[in-house]
């Protein structure tokens, strides 16, 4: 009799535990159904990751290179200029239009010539063609493709713009030199007053040295 009573008490406790557990489970399920989802809806197919949005650096968004370069092109070098025409004939200068004019004097020997080199104080006889990079305005000593009236220059006397004088130094008779002259050494100087160039013009100059007097 005692044993039967104990068995009934155990069965009642077990059923009570099951009832409590079941009630707790139902409460959790109900709470989950009422809570808003923390995940954002996606249009991507199942199993696909949403790509992260990438933004360009601020410098690129404003039209500049991420490396700090200018969007207007690199600075011109002497190799960007082309000179045609043989010695004794009027040369033609082709100036580039896809680079920025240099801020320093550039020179290139087109023909070396021979004999003594020009030094400061020498008086020289030269033929030349000068072209403005932006204006295209041309001046020179040539009166036709094969005829000219050479210019006499005393180097260092201020007869011509400083960049021209520097380009003459070291030249030899029969030599030809290309010089690209920035405004501070050319068009912006007093010696350029009669050439007809604006003061901010960069000049391309071809010099042919006839003789050193």
- CATH code: domain of residue 135: 3.10.50.40
Say whether both 104 and 190 belong to one domain: yes
Q: How many domains does the chain have?
A: 2
Compute the chain's Rg from CA coordinates: 43
Residue 166 placed within a domain: yes
Q: What is d(CA 104, CA 59) in angstroms, rounded to the nearest whole number?
A: 28
Say whether both 17 and 82 belong to one domain: no
Distance of CA 110 to the CA centre of its chain: 28
Q: What is the pLDDT of residues 148-195, one digit of tens each?
A: 999 999 999 999 999 999 999 999 999 999 999 999 999 999 999 999
In this model, does residue 1 exceed pLDDT 80? Answer: no
Say whether both 150 and 92 belong to one domain: yes
Say whether both 2 and 83 belong to one domain: no
Q: pTM of the full predicted structure?
A: 0.66
Full residue range of the structural domain in which residue 17 is found: 1-36
- What CA–CA distances, in Å, run from 198 to 65, 92, 186? 31, 21, 10
Percent over 90 (pLDDT), the chain: 64
Say whether both 30 and 104 belong to one domain: no
Q: What is d(CA 120, CA 154) in angstroms, rounded to the nearest whole number?
A: 8
Q: What is the pLDDT of residues 12-51, one digit of tens each?
A: 443 344 343 444 443 434 444 444 444 444 454 444 333 3
In this model, does residue 65 exceed pLDDT 60? Answer: no
Say whether both 105 and 198 belong to one domain: yes
pLDDT of residue 72: 53
Say whether both 117 and 171 belong to one domain: yes
Say whether both 99 and 196 belong to one domain: yes
Say whether both 28 and 84 belong to one domain: no
Say whether both 24 and 82 belong to one domain: no
Say whether both 14 and 108 belong to one domain: no
pLDDT of residue 73: 75
Asked whether 174 and 198 are in contact (CB, 8 A), the reply is no
């Amino acid at each position: 009799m005692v044993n039967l009573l104990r068995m009934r008490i155990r069965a009642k406790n077990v059923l009570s535990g099951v009832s409590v557990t079941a009630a707790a489970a139902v409460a959790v399920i109900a709470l989950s159904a009422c809570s808003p989802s923390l995940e954002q809806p996606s249009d991507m197919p199942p199993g696909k990751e949403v790509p992260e949005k990438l933004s360009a650096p601020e410098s690129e968004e404003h039209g500049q290179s991420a490396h700090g370069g200018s969007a207007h092109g690199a600075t011109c070098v002497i190799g960007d200029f082309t000179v045609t025409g043989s010695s004794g004939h009027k040369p033609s200068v082709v100036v580039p239009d896809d680079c920025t004019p240099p801020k320093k004097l550039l020179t290139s020997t087109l023909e070396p010539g021979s004999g003594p080199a020009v030094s400061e104080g020498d008086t020289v006889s030269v033929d030349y063609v000068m072209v403005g990079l932006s204006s295209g305005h041309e001046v020179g000593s040539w009166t036709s493709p094969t005829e000219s009236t050479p210019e006499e220059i005393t180097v260092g006397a201020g007869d011509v713009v400083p960049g021209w004088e520097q380009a003459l130094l070291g030249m030899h008779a029969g030599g030809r030199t290309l010089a690209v002259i920035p405004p501070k050494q050319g068009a912006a100087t007093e010696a350029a007053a009669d050439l007809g160039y604006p003061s901010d013009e960069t000049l391309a100059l071809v010099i042919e040295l006839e003789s050193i007097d």
